[in-house]
Copies of this chain bind each other. A is one copy, B any other.
Amino acid sequence: MVRTESTGSGRTATLSDVARLAGVSIATASKAINGRDEVAPATRRRVLEAAEQLAFTPNQLARSLLAGRTGTVGLLTSDLEGRFVIPILMGAEDAFGAGQVNVFLCDARGDAIREQHHLKALLNRRVDGIIVVGRQTDPRPSLGTLPVPVVYAYAPSDDPDDLSITPDNRAGGRLAVEHLISCGRSRIAHISGDPAYAAARDRLLGVRDGLQAAGLELVGDAMFSVWSEHWGRDAAAMLLAQHPEVDGIVCGSDQIARGVLDTLRDLGRRVPEDVAVIGYDNWEVLATNSRPELTSIDANLQQLGRTAAKRVFTALDDERRSGTEYEPVRLVIRGSTIPRR
């Protein structure tokens, strides 16, 4: 691979190279390139030709230094592996990418020291704002007061003075149960994941909200353990042994729901005719490949990412908001609650 710059010197061309080649001053070259109107058309043409020939691209570093804004944002995640982080990241990148903003990605791997290290690096690079994306909806430690706006996404900050955006898990739990009720179910159970997660507790609150509003009660106790397919299978077996009358199951995740579907199939229960099942997260690859396909609650994470991006922007100009915003969730109906045709 050979470098093919036309400056000859091997450097990338600078504005003064362009000016020299075009036979004008640096100031004039700048104006010509940036479309300012104090330049004669013929001069502008000469400059643009020179810029083209040298493959000139303006140095953003110099620009940013002057402007006091870099057009960059730091995206500080605690765990890239987690599948909740990615859609948020996509949404943010998307919202920024449409403008002139670029994103610095930093993965702290759940380590506070590393996070502090990354934070410092971002501030040194003079990012215009920071989005902190957590992997759980449990509150996380605030970064404290920084010279740039900070928005917490998914995992809210534990400081109410910070601005946080997190999905409305309680509304999601309620939405799920309301859907089952609207499908004519009244003997509804709840199988969820790790009760140490706020997500699990909040969804249960929503489920109870929905049941209470309809004058119903949960069948058996809410079942908690871990967020796995195995647990879904085991829990469903236990549930059906103790409460064979159950006709609807709200699951805490799609993985759990997949396990539940497996057990129901093994036990000869038809889904959704005998038992309707609803998952949570709308993890497409799981939800659309099960038998039957899985109705689920979608947290609109990509939208959440876009909202976070927008807030960082508006915080740049306007006043800063604070407190926790709950993003709405939505129901995605598939065959596990409503028979196909």
A: which residues have CB within 8 A of B?
1-5, 12, 57-62, 64-65, 70, 72, 75, 80-81, 86-87, 89-90, 93-94, 97, 100, 102-107, 109, 114, 118, 120-126, 145, 147, 161-162, 228-230, 255, 258-259, 262, 285, 289-291, 320, 322
Contacts and interface: CB of A to CB of B under 8 A. Distances in A.
22 contacts: A3-B145, A4-B145, A59-B126, A61-B61, A61-B64, A61-B70, A61-B125, A62-B65, A65-B65, A75-B105, A80-B89, A81-B90, A93-B105, A97-B118, A102-B106, A103-B105, A103-B106, A104-B104, A228-B289, A229-B289, A255-B285, A262-B291
A317 to B, nearest CB: 15
Contacts of A58: 124
A106 B101 CA distance: 10
A322 to B, nearest CB: 6
Taking chain A's interface residues, is the majority helix, strand, or loop, or is none over half, making it mixed? mixed
Contact of A1 (B4, B290, B320): B320
Contact of A60 (B97, B124, B322): B124
Contact of A126 (B3, B61, B229): B61
Q: How many copies does the complex hold?
A: 2
A97 B115 CA distance: 11
Contact of A61 (B3, B65, B97): B65
Contacts of A255: 285, 289
A320 B2 CA distance: 9
A122 B103 CA distance: 11
Nearest to A145: B4
Given A57-B123, A59-B124, A97-B107, 8 more contacts: A5-B147, A57-B120, A72-B104, A72-B125, A86-B86, A90-B107, A102-B125, A230-B289
Nearest to A70: B61
A161 B1 contact: yes
